[in-house]
Amino acid sequence: MSARAVDAVSALLAAALLAALLGLSVWLWQGGQRALLLAPAIGELADCLELAPAQTPLEPACSGERGSAAQRIEATLGPLGPRRSADGHFELGYTLVVPLLNLFEPQGAGWAIDQQAVQRIVRTVRDVQRPVVLYLFSTHFSEQAPIEPVLAQDPANLAHTPQGPLPVDQFMGWPLYPWSIARTDNAITQRREQAIGALVQGVCALPAAARQRIVGLNLLGEVHHLYPDFEAGMGHDRPYVLTDYADASRRGFRAFLRQRFGHVAALNAYLGSDFASFDAVDPPSRDIRREPLQHFWQHLDDAAAGTLAISGWAHDAALPAGATPWVRVYLDGLPVARVPAHFVRQDVGQALPQLGTDRVGWRHDLRFAELAPGLHRLDIALEGQGGALRRLGTRRLAVMDRAQRTPAPVPLRQALPPMAEPGAALRFHIDTPADGRAVFYNPLVPLWHAFRGQQVVDYLAHFDRLLAGTCLADVPRRTQQIYPAEKAGWDGSRFASEASLRPFGQVRLGINLYGEASYDDSFFDWLARSRQSGYSVTEFHPLRGMDGAELRRVLEQHRAHGAETFSFFLHPPPPGGTRSQPLANPFALDPQNPRHGSDTLYRALQQVMQAPGTGR
């Protein structure tokens, strides 16, 4: 290539880069100018929508041929303030949660769509003169639908561990149904399709002006893989049991490998294995430390993909109020990580309320797959004022070879810096790893995790395509997904949800934010890395109270970063103004719900909507 041609290509590349930067700047500017739609998910509508039996006599607005939940929704939103905040930055709409399985009623020996319930939902969309997000809800969380226990009797509808179908579980005292996402030819999927079809048919009959108020469709909810003891078993300290191991998943995994590698010889070269064919490959499912293996490629535990979580919590009373402690991690004397102790740890906050905070968790994921076998040394220290280090602890890490030979000690590669003893001002604990932890890297495991993540994407994409063929095709469709990798103590590989947070089909990002990810820069850092141009906060759970000024700052940050809608749970006011019992949903913003600072957040939201802002 001539020098002139090189110059021309360079100029074109520079122009393209400048155009991209200008486009990003315009998008960010537009995001900072448009109003952010606050779309709280309104609860306690089921009886009014004929999705559950009425516990008390229904108000006239709910029942009859013209009945809808419009009056309840307006009664819920009205106390928050005007439809648009005083500064014009926030608009108040709502999210209408439609539990799909509750649309079915018994009919003879089978089940039929409750058309009266569908029409009440449709009339609600028609009657509430506000923007609405339709949440097509159907996840593992039970809505007490009569059809749920019937569907749970069919193993084809359930997620499978290596031992068989998961049993029905509990979450916060409610049933949790481990519905399978490994296939779309089962009854649970067909019922979801049927319910969506009936709802869409009703909505498509509405006048165009009413349909145009539908600004988003949330697909199903938190769609991800499951595991035993869902409520407490998401950490690294529990037996590592995954889904899905149903026959359809096993066949799908082999097809995934065949598509990825083409020929089994290429797979064998990658793994160092000697499989005779793809049909001889099973998903990893046995822990080499506890179970006999027929061959090494069966090994599976929380570290088998080549990464080990190093985590714990720390609180330094000697630091100024609000300052973040920083934890340093050394491997064989070399510094490998410096991480903030800022994750929410509710367990610590509950056990040690005298600390005055639960933002004490820290985590570093150590990539050990490329380390030489041997007994390595981990040293963990906390930075104090002036950068002085205090020792939190030392852990030995046994990186094993496939033959399980006794690992030889690995010498320090350089001397550790001076470290003082913790002292009385420091409270801390190292959760993982245990001292002497043995880790085995099985390169088949990352492939298994990638396949499981693709199963999540494929299941959501199925419903994306279903809606693409309807009158709602142009309404933005979103995930309502969890991102567990941003939590200090959670093992995200159990959920396999991360791939579904990247673009696929016509689905936009909708994400549920818990704890610090809902109000500090950690989420925005992740958003920048994921290179996505827009998103919705489908659930906002800061797990603590905020005043009006802080909540406004958080909302302004999300508005500036391109948030399209922003949702949280909200319930209608009780008759007479006083609740006789606590809300079933502990996360609902409510002036009478002290859990997780929800009453404080409710009043802060009123301030945001009613008081003049700073303007911009």
Q: What is the pLDDT of residues 26-41, one digit of tens each?
A: 444 444 568 999 999 9
Quote the tokens at residue 367. Answer: 């990539």
Q: How many CA atoms lie within 13 A of 380 on its CB side?
A: 28
Give backbone dihedrals phi and psi of 593, rounded to 5 degrees, phi first: -120, 100
435 and 455 housed in the same domain: no
Sign, CA dihedral 449-450-453-454, equals: negative
Do residues 543 and 596 touch, judged by C-beta distance below 8 A?
yes
Do 554 and 407 share a domain, yes or no? no
- pLDDT value at residue 484: 67
Note whether 231 and 324 are same-domain residues: no
The amino acid sitting at 262 is G
pLDDT of residue 613: 53
User: With contact defined as beta carbons under 8 Å apart, do 509 and 483 qualify?
Assistant: no
Q: Does residue 10 have a pLDDT over 70?
A: no
Mean pLDDT of 201-225: 97
Instruction: Output the pLDDT for position 184.
Output: 97
Q: Does any domain span residue 71?
A: yes
User: Residue 615 and residue 30: Cα distance in Å, rounded?
Assistant: 15
- Please answer whether residues 51 and 137 qualify as being in contact, where contact means their C-beta atoms are separated by less than 8 angstroms: no
Which candidate, 132, 91, 98, 95, places its Cα nearest to that of 215?
132
Q: What tens digit of pLDDT does each residue of 548-570 get?
A: 999 999 999 999 999 999 999 99
Boundaries of domain holding 570 = 27-236+447-610
Give per-residue pLDDT as tens, 171-208: 888 899 999 999 999 999 999 999 999 999 999 999 99
Q: What SS3 state is found at 296?
A: helix
- Which percentage of the chain shows pLDDT scores above 70? 93
Per-residue pLDDT for 108 more than 80? yes
Q: Final residue of a domain: which of 400, 421, 439?
A: 439
Q: What is the pTM of this model?
A: 0.91
Q: Is the same domain home to 525 and 386?
A: no
Whole-angstrom CA distances from 120 to 50, 144, 213, 443, 512 are 8, 19, 17, 53, 28
| Residues 465 and 385 both lie in one domain | no
Local confidence band at 19 (pLDDT 50, 70, 90 cut-offs): very low
In a domain, 253, yes or no: no
Residue 578 sits in the same domain as residue 474: yes
Q: Which residue has the tokens 């004022």?
A: 385
Task: Identify the bridge partners of residue 338 per DSSP, sorted by sequence position.
Answer: 328
CA distances from 383 to 328, 380, 536 (A): 7, 10, 36
In percent, how much of the chain has pLDDT > 90? 74
Number of other residues whose CB lies within 10 A of the CB of residue 194: 16
Average pLDDT, the chain: 90
**Whole-angstrom Cα distance, residue 536 to residue 538?**
6
- Backbone phi and psi for residue 132, each to the nearest 5 degrees, phi listed first: -135, 140
Query: Can you tell me whether residue 592 is helix, strand or coil?
Result: coil
Residue 244 within a domain: no
| Mean pLDDT, range 475-496, rounded to an integer | 84
Sign of the torsion formed by the C-alpha atoms of 429, 431, 437 and 439: negative
Picking from 418, 439, 460, the residue at the C-terminal end of a domain is 439
Residue 348 sits in the same domain as residue 454: no
Q: Has residue 101 got a pLDDT over 60? A: yes
**Residue at 405: amino acid letter:** R
Is residue 566 included in any domain, yes or no? yes
Question: Do 374 and 461 sit in the same domain of this protein?
Answer: no
Q: pLDDT at position 468, please?
A: 96
The predicted-structure confidence for 288-344, as pLDDT tens digits, reads as follows: 999 999 999 999 999 999 999 999 999 999 888 878 899 999 999 999 999 999 888
What is the tally of structural domains in the chain? 2
